[in-house]
Chains A and B, each alone.
Chain A
Amino acid sequence: MSQVIVSGIITGSLYALAALGLVLIFKTSDVVNFAQGEMAMFCTFIAYTFMTFVGLPYYIAFPLTIICAGILGVIVYRLIIKPLSKSNVLSIMIATLGLIMILNGLAGNIFGFETKSFPKLINAKNINILGVSLEPNSLLIVLITFAIMLSLFFYFKTMEGIAIRAVAQDVDAAKLMGISVKRVTVTTWIISSMLAATAGMLIAPTTFLDINMMSEVHLKSFCAAVLGGFNTFVGPAVGGVLIGILENLVGKYISLAWKTVFAFILIIVMLVVRPNGLCGKSYRRKV
Chain B
Amino acid sequence: MLIIKNLKVNYGYVNALKGVDIDIKGGQIVSILGSNGAGKTSLLKAVSGLVEDKSGTILFDGQDITNMSTEKIVSLGISHCPEGRRIFPQLTVEENLKIGAYVLRNKKVNLQEEFERVYAFFPKLKERRRQVAGTLSGGEQQMLAIGRALMSKPKLLMLDEPSLGLAPIIVNEIFKIIKQINSEGVTVLLIEQNANGALKISDYSYVLELGQVVSEGDSKKLLNDEGIRKSYLGA
Contacts and interface: CB of A to CB of B under 8 A. Distances in A.
Given A177-B103, A178-B103, A180-B69, A162 B90 contact: no
Interface stretch (A72-80, A166-174, A208-216): A166-174
Interface string B40-72: 000000001110000000000000000001110
Interface string B85-125: 01111110001001110110100000000000000000000
A165 B91 contact: yes
B99 A176 contact: no
A125 interface: no
Contact of B89 (A162, A169, A172, A178): A169
Contacts of B139: none
B37 interface: no
A201 interface: no
A163 B99 contact: yes
Contacts of A172: 50, 70, 82, 86
A169 B75 CA distance: 21
B80 interface: yes
Given A175-B50, A178-B74, A159 B88 contact: no
Nearest to A231: B90
Contact of B86 (A176, A178, A180, A283): A176
Interface in A30-56: none
A166 B86 contact: no
B102 A179 contact: yes
A159 B102 contact: yes
A173 B88 contact: yes
A175 B80 CA distance: 10
Contacts of B82: 172-173, 176
Interface in A151-196: 159, 162-163, 165-166, 169-170, 172-181
Interface residues of B, number: 30
Given A159-B102, A180-B69, A166 B89 contact: no
B102 A283 contact: no
B28 interface: no
B88 A178 contact: no
Contacts of A174: 88, 99
Contacts of B102: 159, 163, 177-179
B88 A166 contact: yes
A175 B88 contact: no
Nearest to B149: A176
Contacts of A175: 48-50, 69-71, 74
B105 A173 contact: no
B84 to A, nearest CB: 9
A283 B99 contact: no
Contacts of B79: 176
B202 interface: no
B74 A176 contact: yes
A283 B90 contact: yes
B105 A159 contact: yes
A173 B141 CA distance: 14
Interface string B154-177: 000000000000000000000000
Contacts of B132: 283
21 contacts: A159-B98, A162-B99, A163-B99, A165-B90, A165-B91, A166-B99, A169-B91, A170-B86, A170-B88, A175-B69, A175-B71, A176-B50, A176-B86, A177-B74, A177-B99, A177-B100, A178-B75, A178-B103, A178-B152, A283-B134, A285-B134
- A-B pairs, top 6 by smallest CB distance, nearest first, are A175-B70, A178-B103, A173-B86, A178-B74, A169-B88, A180-B71
Interface of A: 159, 162-163, 165-166, 169-170, 172-181, 231, 283, 285-286
Interface of B: 48-50, 69-71, 74-75, 79-80, 82, 86-91, 95, 98-100, 102-103, 105, 132, 134-136, 148, 152
